[in-house]
Structure 1
Amino acid sequence: MDSGGRTETSDEALPRADGSGHHVPEGQAPEEYGDHRGHGDHDEHEHRSRWPLIAAAGAAGLYGGVAISILGNETGLLPPLAGIGLAVAGTIVLLAGIAGWVDQAFLSPARDTQGAFESRESYVSTTLLFLATDVSTFGALFVYYFFVRIGSWPPEELPPLLGSLIVINTTILIASSITFHYAHQALEDDNRRRFIGLLGATLGLGLVFLAGQVYEYYEFVAHEGFSLASGIFGSAFFGLTGLHGLHVTLGVGGIAVLCWRALRGHYGPERDTSVATVSLYWHFVDVVWLFLVVVLYVGASV
Structure 2
Amino acid sequence: MGETDAGVAEGDAHDHEHEHRSRWPIVGAAGAAILYTGAALALVGNRAGIFPSPVGVGIAVVGFAVLTGGLVGWLRQAYLSDYWARAASDRKRRAYRATMVIFLVTDVATFGAGFVYYFYVRIWTWPPGELPELVGSLVLVNTALLVASSVTLHFAHEALDEGHRRRFLALLGATFALGVVFLAGQIAEYATFVGEEEFTLTSGVFASAFFGLTGLHGLHVALGVVLVGIVLWRALRGQYDAERDTSVSTVSLYWHFVDAVWLFLVAVLYVGAEISL
TM-score, L = length of structure 1: 0.73
Task: Name the counterpart of 1:215.
Answer: 188
Alignment of 1:96-175 (within 5 A): 96=66, 98-106=68-76, 109-110=79-80, 112=82, 114-118=84-88, 119-175=92-148
Ranges in structure 2 where 5+ consecutive residues have no aligned partner: 1-8, 52-56
Shift in Å, 1:113 = 5.8
**2:163, 2:43 → 1: CA distance?**
52
* Matching residue's letter, 1:46: E
For residues 72 and 246 of structure 1, do their structure 2 counterparts lie closer, same or farther at Cα, with a shift above 3 Å needed?
closer
Q: Secondary structure at the match of 1:226?
A: coil
Shift in Å, 1:270 = 0.7
Which of 256, 260, 268 is the equivalent residue of 1:287?
260
Query: Does 2:168 match 1:195?
Result: yes
Which of 4, 7, 15 is the equivalent residue of 1:44?
15
**2:222, 2:167 → 1: CA distance?**
24
Task: Name the counterpart of 1:84.
Answer: none
Shift in Å, 1:116 = 4.1
* Matching residue's letter, 1:273: T
**2:267, 2:153 → 1: CA distance?**
23
For residues 55 and 46 of structure 1, do their structure 2 counterparts lie closer, same or farther at Cα, with a shift above 3 Å needed?
same
Shift in Å, 1:282 = 0.3
Shift in Å, 1:162 = 0.4
Q: Secondary structure at the match of 1:162?
A: coil
Query: Does 2:219 match 1:246?
Result: yes
**Higher relative CO (CA 8 A, sep ≥ 6), structure 1 or 2?**
1
Q: Secondary structure at the match of 2:15?
A: helix
For residues 55 and 113 of structure 1, do their structure 2 counterparts lie closer, same or farther at Cα, with a shift above 3 Å needed?
closer
Query: Does 2:277 match 1:300?
Result: no
Deviations 1:204-223 (A, max 9, x none): 11111111101101110011
Shift in Å, 1:104 = 2.6
For residues 93 and 245 of structure 1, do their structure 2 counterparts lie closer, same or farther at Cα, with a shift above 3 Å needed?
closer
Shift in Å, 1:59 = 4.4
For residues 94 and 219 of structure 1, do their structure 2 counterparts lie closer, same or farther at Cα, with a shift above 3 Å needed?
closer
Q: Secondary structure at the match of 1:134?
A: helix
Ranges in structure 1 where 5+ consecutive residues have no aligned partner: 1-37, 82-86
For residues 125 and 95 of structure 1, do their structure 2 counterparts lie closer, same or farther at Cα, with a shift above 3 Å needed?
farther
Alignment of 1:3-18 (within 5 A): none
Which of 235, 239, 259 is the equivalent residue of 1:266?
239
**2:21, 2:68 → 1: CA distance?**
12
**Which structure has greater helix proportion?**
2
For residues 207 and 93 of structure 1, do their structure 2 counterparts lie closer, same or farther at Cα, with a shift above 3 Å needed?
closer
For residues 52 and 131 of structure 1, do their structure 2 counterparts lie closer, same or farther at Cα, with a shift above 3 Å needed?
farther
Q: Secondary structure at the match of 1:46?
A: helix
Shift in Å, 1:117 = 3.9
8 Å CA contact retained: 2:28, 2:66: yes
For residues 94 and 204 of structure 1, do their structure 2 counterparts lie closer, same or farther at Cα, with a shift above 3 Å needed?
closer
8 Å CA contact retained: 2:224, 2:255: yes
Shift in Å, 1:65 = 8.8
Shift in Å, 1:71 = 9.5
Shift in Å, 1:126 = 1.3
For residues 265 and 130 of structure 1, do their structure 2 counterparts lie closer, same or farther at Cα, with a shift above 3 Å needed?
same
Aligned length in residues: 260
**1:61, 1:178 → 2: CA distance?**
34
Shift in Å, 1:251 = 0.5
